[in-house]
Structure formats: C-alpha cells, structure tokens
Amino acid sequence: MSLAAVEEEPRHPEGAEPDYIRGKSGVMSWVLTLDHKRIALLYLGTVTLTFFLGGVFALALRTELLVPENGVMDAMTYNRMFTLHGVTMVFFFMIPAIPGVFGNFFLPIMIGAHDVAFPRLNLASYYLYLAAVCLGLWGMIHGGTDTGWTFYTPYSTTTTTTVLPILAAAFVNGFSSILTGVNFIVTIHTLRADGMHWMRLPLFIWALYGTSVIQVLATPVIGITLALCAVEHFLGTGIFDPARGGDPILFQHLFWFYSHPAVYIMVLPAFGVASELVGAFTRKPLVGYRMIALSTFGIAFVGFLAWGHHLFTSGQSAVDAGVFGFLSMLIGVFTAIKMFNWVGSMYKASIVMAAPFIYTLGFFFLTVFGGMTGVALATISLDVHWQDTYFVVAHFHFIMAGAVVMMFLGALHYWFPKMFGKLYTEGPAMVGAVLVILGFIGTFTPQFFLGNEGMPRRYYSYPAHFQWLHVTSTIFAYILFLGLLLVLINLIVALANGKQAPNNPWGAPQYEWDIPSPPTEHNFPATPVINRDPYEYRGQEIIENAN
C-alpha cells in the first residue's frame, strides 16, 4: 500500500475556511501566533537546528577519537565538545522535541479541542525555550564549558570556563518545560470533547500526560540545583564544598532527582508515538490498550524512585545503593509490558511497510537492547565495573537516541501529510531510515565493547588497542549523519514539491485523520462528539485507499 494522493477532489471548496498555514499571513502572525499548530512548527524549526548543532558537536568529538591522542583538537576543546553535545542534545532537543512539536500540534486535535487550555502560555513556553537556546549559544560562542552536561561539583563550581550562561540556559529551559507540562495536563482534563472518556484517549495522549506530570514535579528541582551551583560558582557560598562542611554528593542527589525522571520525559512521548505507529501500520486494533496506558504512570512514578543508581560509585552509602538498585529494576517491568503489547499487536497483523514503520522497528531493537543494558547497569556489582565507561554511554545512546530520535523521525514522517498537506517520497525516506538505524547501531555497538574493556567515558586519549573500535564507531557516526541529511533533504523537497495529501493517506483509524490535511485554524467547525475508540478499524479506511 502506498500513500494515496488525491488529485480530483478540491480540498477547499469555495467559501471554506483556509488551513492554518495559509489562513493568516505575515511574519507577525507567526511570531505572535496563539495557534497551537503554528507554535508546533516554531518548535520544529528550532529543534531541527539544535539537533543538527548537537550532531556537529558529536561528529567533532568522534573525529578526534579516530586517533589515540592529538587528533584535530586539544584536550580542553574536546572536553567542551562532549559537554556542549550533551547540553544541546538533552536540554535543547530531547526534552522539548516530541512534546513541543507533536504534542503541541496533535494534543488538542486528538481530544477534540480547538486549542490548548492556555494558548498564550503555550507561546510563552516556546519563547522561553528559544531564550534558553540563545543563552546557551551565547555561552558556547564564549568558549562553552567543559564540566560535562552533568555539571558535577566541585569542578563546576571552580572551573574558569563559561559555565554560568550554560547553567542559566538550562534554568530557563526548565521553565519552558514546566509551563508546557501545566498546559497539557489542564488541557487533557478540561478540554476533552463529549464522548472522549479516559479509556478512549489515544495512547499518545496518555504518554503526554505522564510526561507532563514528571515535567511539573521534577523540573523545579534541577532549576534550584543549577541555581545553587551557579551561586556557589559566583559567590563561593560553599554548599557543596567539603572545606566548609559541604558535600559534593548532595549536588549529585539533587541533580539526578530531576535528571533521572528527565529521561522519562524524553522517552515516554516516544513510547506514545510508538503506540500510534503500531496502531496505524498493523491494520488491527492495538493489543493491551489499558496496560499500555497505565504502565505509562508506572514508569512515571517508579522513575522518581531510582535516581541513586547514578551515584553507585560516587560515595553513596551501600544501603542506599541497594535500595536504588532494586527500585531501578522495577522500571524494566513497565517498559516490558509496553514492549510485549506492541509486539503482540504486530503478531498476525497485515503490516504496512513505510518509513514510519521502519523507524518503529529500529525503535524496538534499540529500546530493547538499551533497556536491557540499563537493567544490567542497575546491578551494582556489574556497575562497579561499567560506571563512567563507554558501556554507560552506549546504553543511554541506545535508549535515548534509539527511542527518542527514532520516534521523532517516525512521527515526523507519519504526521507530515497531516501537518503540511503534502506527501513525501517514500523511496528516499526508507533509504534514509535504514541508514539512520544502521548508523546508530554501528556507532554505539562498538562502544559497549569499548566500555566493557575499560575505556572510560569523556577521555581524550586512549590506549592504541582500542583504536579499531573507535574508528568503527566514528565511521558509522558519519553514515548516521548522511542518513539524517538525506531525511532532511527529502522532507524539504516534499515541502516544496510534494503531492497534495488527502485527509487520511495511511488509512489509519485514529481521530486526527478525520480532519483535513492541513487542518483549519480551529481544527473543527464545532466541537465534535466522539463515538469510537482510537484504534478501531471500521473497514472503510482500507477500502478508500486500496488503489
């Protein structure tokens, strides 16, 4: 089955409302827009730039690692590269990307609402994010910092590099995140259309709800922690300074109290997208809707209980380490519930192979291996060997990049026709997807071996016998980059020249495919009434598109 283009039927009959892109024109109508869909596109533009910027930092450090030492940069620059790569990717891409782009665009549509509960707050969230990016860029231009994205004390409080703007950028970004979370929770509670009871919500909405709860509760903690770090750096107040009775491990406790739930802010929306893609491309109702929905809250809750597993070798007590190790393993249970339900949904299904589904397959592979290595790392006796090695780096890239980036790209392709009213070309999209997936696997699998052999993370130089693994990793990193370039070019070409998209090019049953592509400004002429479940195929979608 291929995407069906509609040439004959006019999309906008005389007198009909124009779509949200062509509706209001002029720069100010975009800069000051209150339309959640336009705000989503503003986010899309910015996260694309930050993603590529983070990728440039990554390529720079991987290029340096082609040789055991003294490659293309000195050690200090290398330290800045991995720090800025982490900061850019974590704070400016992974956390805002899926909620900011697809959450903003589709949350109101999927629940039958005309917009989010607080549109002006939504625009404020975007500008706070943009301000954070600008602050971060300013810090980077002034040399950036070399503390690692985790800003551990005492180095972060004593370094002479420009750490303050980067801390400020992360702080401001936090406010963007919190306000988005508040907006989404209130919208889901108060703006659901008639007939949209809780067990009829698309699973992407459940995922956004869980994400928003974490955003609201966890983000303030890192705001204060980074502020404490900044004040100590600037004034020498000594809260984390042992010479004044302080404890650097307190910083780590406070930092990871947010940053561990933060990885679930990144991953839960990706899991939500996966549910949507599985629901669309398996052409049968999703298995285990209730379990997938409720396991989202399992992950969100247990995610708050596990932060100490980042402190296993830091000087934390053995008692606490034991408690955190056990609690960390529980998260695997809820993730496995989702995995088994998705795979069960694919069993005996008529799979439609298209770029979004290729990304879904890549997502499954990378998430399963990323998740399993996470459970292995939660085993304290093993972590003593792997902590601060490339094993950890490979683990979190498998799961964070593997889950989030895969699903970001999958969502981008899946919802592209709806968002822009154009069809992209499937051939280059599929090639791009395969390159990206192979690139990821090739970049990070050698790193598991590197870490297990003892190669520490964030190290500029290494013994010569590790070189072949580093070279393999770098080559595949370049393949990954080429794949991403191909994806970007293909989508830009589609924006310019793509065929007009019908309402439902995929023949998918979910609610957003009922409205025009692209949608009108207020999504629906009047508030709809929902009378079916989101993954309920009624047959006519298949008939309409079987040409």
Partner 1 sequence: MSASADSHANGEHKHHGLSVGGYTMVFLFLIFCTLLTWWTAKQDLGDWNLPVALAIATTKSTIVCLFFMHLWGDTRVNQFILILSVLFVILMCSLTIADVNTRFPLTAPPNSERFKVPANGQLE
Partner 2 sequence: MQTDATIDHGHAEKPPHLRFQFSDSARQFHAAKFGMWLFLGQEVMFFSALLCAYAYYRNQFPVAWSMASHRINTTFGLLETIDLLFSSFTVALAIHFVRLGRRGITTLLLFVTLCCGLIFLCMHSYEYYTEWHEGLLPGRFFHPEAEWHLPMESAMFFSCYFFTTVLHSIHVIIGVGVLGVIMIFNIRGKYSPAYYTHVEVGGLYWHLVDLIWIFLFPLYYLVA
Shortest distance, CB of residue 520 to partner 2, whole angstroms?
A: 12
318 binds, among partner 1, partner 2, none (CB under 5 to 8 A by kind): partner 1
C-alpha atoms less than 13 angstroms from C-alpha of 67 in its C-beta half-sphere = 8
**Cβ(288)–Cβ(344) below 8 Å:** yes
Per-residue binding letters, 175-214, with partner 1 (x by CB under 8 A): --------------x-------------------------
Query: Nearest 5°: phi and psi at 66?
Result: -65, -30
Residue found under tokens 């549509």? 109
Dist. CA 265–CA 221, nearest whole Å: 14
Stretch that binds partner 1, among 142-150, 167-175, 201-209, 315-323 (CB under 8 A): 315-323
Cα separations in angstroms, 400 against 404, 440, 461, 477? 6, 11, 26, 16
| Count of all residues that appear for the chain in the document | 547
Of residues 222-251, those binding partner 2 (CB under 8 A): 223-225, 228, 231-232, 235-239, 241, 244-247, 250
Residue 266 interacting entry, from partner 2, partner 1, none, C-beta within 5 to 8 Å by type = none
Q: Is 113 in the site for partner 2 (CB under 8 A)?
A: yes
Applying CB under 8 A, the span of 253-261, 371-379, 467-475, 512-520 interacting with partner 1 comes to 253-261
For Cα atoms 328, 329, 333, give the angle at the middle one, nearest 5 degrees.
120
Q: Residue 69 is encoded by which pair of tokens?
A: 């030492």
Q: In terms of CB distance, is 74 or 514 closer to partner 2?
A: 514
| Gap between the Cα atoms of 114 and 367, Å rounded | 34
Q: Which is nearer to partner 2, 483 or 505 (CB)?
A: 505
423, β-bridge pairs: 499
Closest CB to partner 2 among residues 33, 295? 33
State the Cα–Cα distance between residues 477 and 472, nearest whole angstrom.
9
Contacted entry of partner 1, partner 2, none for residue 308, CB cut-off 5 to 8 Å set by kind: partner 1
74 three-state secondary structure: coil
Q: Do residues 50 and 88 lie in contact, with contact meaning Cβ atoms separated by under 8 Å?
A: yes
Task: Give me the DSSP letters along 375-419.
Answer: HHHTSHHHHHHHTTBHHHHHHHIIIIIIIIIHHHHHHHHHHHHHH
In the complex, what is the shortest distance from the CB of residue 247 to partner 1, in angstroms, rounded to a whole number?
8
Binding residues among 275-314 for partner 1 as defined by CB under 8 A = 304-305, 308
Peptide bond into 99 cis (omega under 30): no
Q: Is the Cβ of residue 456 or residue 525 nearer to partner 2 in the bound state?
A: 525
Asked if 249 touches partner 1 (CB under 8 A), the answer is: yes
Residue 493 touching partner 2 (CB under 8 A) = no
The residues that touch partner 2, with contacts defined as CB under 8 A, are: 108, 112-119, 121, 178, 181-183, 185-186, 189-191, 193-194, 216-221, 223-225, 228, 231-232, 235-239, 241, 244-247, 250, 253-254, 257, 511, 514, 522, 524-532
Residues that bind partner 1 (CB under 8 A): 189, 217, 221, 242, 245, 247, 249-250, 253-254, 257, 304-305, 308, 315-320, 323-324
